[in-house]
Amino acid sequence: MRTSRARRRTVLLTPCVALLIAGGGIAPGAAAAATARADPSPTPVPAATMTAPAPTRIPPPLKPIEPAAFQTTVERAAKKLMVPGAVVLLRTPQGTYRAVVGTSELGKARPPGTNDHFRIASNTKTMTAALIMLLAQDGKLRLNDPVSAYVPGVPNGEHITLADLLKMRSGLYNYTNTPELSATLDADPGKAWTPQQILAIAFRHPPNFAPDASYEYSNTNYALLGLVAEKAGGRPLAQQFRDRLFTPLGMKGTLLPAADDRSLPEPAAHGYMYGGSVYALADDPYPAAMRAAAQSGKLRPVDYTRQNPSYATAAGGAVSTADDLATWIRSLVTGKVLDPASQQQWLRGPQAEDPAAPDGQKYGYGIAYQRFGPNSAMYYHGGELPGYNSFIGHDPVNDVTLVIWTNLTLSPDGRTTAQALLPTVLNQIYTGLNLPTG
């Protein structure tokens, strides 16, 4: 992973929360204060017994939502980021709230909607991980199996377990870091990629550390897990997603496209970004002149809607809608996807990305977890690829589900846009939060 990633912490297909990242998160001192009462590791209880904190002991953590004020607040924050369009879908015990901003396509007046299809990037990892957990339930694989039992030729493959891949602890090089991948995507945006081709890119680089010695986010892990799922499940990944995840939950707007399919089902949002793919894939910062031109309006964003996402494969190739993603993340966190034993394993899976910060961001079986106040925490993920940025999260204690997506990957000042909106939205939801909004 390139050292420049510390600047934003959210790159193509990466997990995302803006709480701890530059340009939209808690400053170091505020982060410490916000997590001062955090447990060292999540110890959730079954969904059926989850209740909000007793109001006689702790003030209610949820604010009343006034729809017009919510819309205005999101509009103001989105305008600062210069996004063409944005959608925020919020579900709380008070009801469902939507904030819709801008347009689904530059030059047209159609506002985006919660049923618009867009590329969800790394939110796909939550689905890949859930399928692996289901296959483990079926007895078709074990999480402590070495990946070499399913995919040959993986560096250190006999020592890397499926759990290591799920939790980003394999040490394998992240194929999306390579500048040649970005260059190929820009030169041939319609190119269809196979998992074997992208893994070959990764395997040309030595591992960054020994298996389970550390944490490092790598899309290579989930490209491998897609192949594992296909071998163990005996069917294509897209078919297993459909039959085991999307259809049972009624997610009619969600799919994993074929490798040669660059289309989006209608209604669809166009996706934009300034400059070449490298600014999303390798986290290269915008040059000062480019940033100034974008901020002044002299530089127009590039339409990336039809760039082929097959390079993202099981790590980030799915298409969905805000409505479906709200259904998905709530179902996943509250136990409607996995059986009770697997659910408890999944809920307790997140471990600290940085051992020196046990109360900070954690990553588990395709899901991140973080507290951002004494009475609020979410299981969440997010996604970024050229054209789109998104966040999905569910707070099981307070029954809050949140989906944010935008059709601009990076703001002119280099912030991932959905994550940059996140502190603004969280401040509207929870009492006692005053997260910096940039």
Read off the pLDDT of residues 254-284 as tens digits, 9 standing for 90 and up.
Answer: 999 999 999 999 999 999 999 999 999 988 8
pLDDT more than 70, % of the chain: 87
HSE-up of residue 199 (Cα within 13 Å, Cβ side): 19
Q: Is the peptide bond before 267 cis (omega within 30 degrees of 0)?
A: yes
Distance of CA 356 to the CA centre of its chain: 24
**Confidence (pLDDT) at 26:** 23
Interacting residues of 179 by C-beta distance below 8 A, sequence separation 6+:
278, 282
With 0-12 / 13-18 / 19 or more C-beta atoms within 10 angstroms meaning exposed / middle / buried, residue 147 is buried
- Decide: helix, strand or coil at residue 437: coil
Q: Which sequence spans correspond to the domains of the chain?
A: 3-40+47-123+252-429
Instruction: Provide the CATH number for the domain formed by 3-40+47-123+252-429 in this structure.
Output: 3.40.710.10
d(CA 414, CA 283): 9
**Whether 382 contacts 56, CB under 8 Å:** no
Which range, of 59-63, 215-219, 281-285, 307-311, averages the lowest pLDDT? Answer: 59-63
What are the tens digits of pLDDT across the range 88-119? 999 999 999 999 999 999 999 999 999 999 99
Task: Supply the pTM of this predicted model.
Answer: 0.89
Where b means 16+ CB within 10 Å and e means fewer, 59-69 reads eebbeeeeeee
Tokens of 321: 């809608």
189 φψ region: left (φ > 0), alpha (ψ -120 to 50), beta (else): alpha
